[in-house]
């Protein structure tokens, strides 16, 4: 239960800052206003936000329940998480957050928010390569190496049987 509380706290801080506060500042800076009505673009945007947000929250739960930790670098999982959304791609939490941001950009029709989404994904990539992967290699060793050999960093790949394709990176 304590792990779930820590994970919920982390999720609230991460989501609140990266997916709500910062995008709101970008929209404000760009002069974007909510659309007067909900059209097809807004409906698509809402759907993409919901899918991305669901993936990100699923990842937080997987870290808490399977990994017995949180996604926060100061409270990492005690066990390597390779199930749930991590079965298909190594960084689904960042992808989910990126989808949520992109969906909001579609909803508002905001180029500035699309640019923020690109910046977010670039920073996430640099963080993954510079900190997360070396830390996970040290912490989980051969298990993490084997996982990297099976599951790609950013692009989920599927074989005809529905499983991940061999060969990662």
pLDDT tens sequence across 101-143: 999 999 999 999 999 999 999 999 999 999 999 999 999 999 9
Question: Are the CB atoms for 146 and 87 separated by under 8 Å?
Answer: no
With respect to residue 156, please indicate whether it lies within any of the assigned structural domains: no
Q: How far apart are CA 21 and CA 92, in angstroms?
A: 21
Gyration radius from the chain CA atoms: 17
With respect to residue 45, please indicate whether it lies within any of the assigned structural domains: yes
Q: What is residue 166's DSSP assignment? A: S
With respect to residue 168, please indicate whether it lies within any of the assigned structural domains: no
With respect to residue 118, please indicate whether it lies within any of the assigned structural domains: yes
Question: Are the CB atoms for 72 and 10 separated by under 8 Å?
Answer: yes
The residue range of the domain holding 105 is 2-150
With respect to residue 39, please indicate whether it lies within any of the assigned structural domains: yes
CA-based torsion, 156, 161, 163, 164: positive or negative: negative
Number of domains in the chain: 1
With respect to residue 37, please indicate whether it lies within any of the assigned structural domains: yes
Q: At which residue do the structure tokens 């066990």 appear?
A: 79
With respect to residue 104, please indicate whether it lies within any of the assigned structural domains: yes
CA-based torsion, 107, 108, 113, 115: positive or negative: positive
Reported as a single tens digit per residue, the pLDDT across 50-97 is 999 999 999 989 988 998 888 888 888 899 999 999 999 999 999 999
For the entire predicted model, the pTM comes to 0.88
């Amino acid at each position: 239960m304590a792990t779930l509380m820590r994970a919920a706290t982390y999720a609230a801080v991460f989501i609140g800052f990266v997916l709500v506060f910062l995008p709101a500042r970008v929209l404000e800076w760009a002069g974007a206003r909510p659309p007067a009505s909900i059209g097809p673009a807004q409906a698509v945007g809402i759907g993409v936000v919901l899918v991305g947000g669901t993936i990100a929250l699923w990842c937080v739960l997987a870290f808490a329940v399977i990994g017995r930790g949180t996604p926060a670098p100061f409270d990492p999982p005690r066990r390597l998480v390779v199930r749930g959304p991590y079965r298909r791609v190594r960084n689904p939490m960042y992808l989910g957050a990126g989808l949520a941001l992109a969906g909001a950009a579609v909803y508002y029709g905001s180029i500035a928010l699309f640019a923020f989404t690109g910046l977010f994904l670039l920073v996430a990539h640099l963080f993954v390569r510079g900190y997360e992967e070396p830390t996970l290699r040290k912490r989980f060793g051969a298990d993490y190496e084997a996982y990297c050999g099976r599951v790609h960093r950013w692009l989920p790949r599927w074989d005809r049987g529905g499983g991940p394709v061999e060969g990662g990176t």
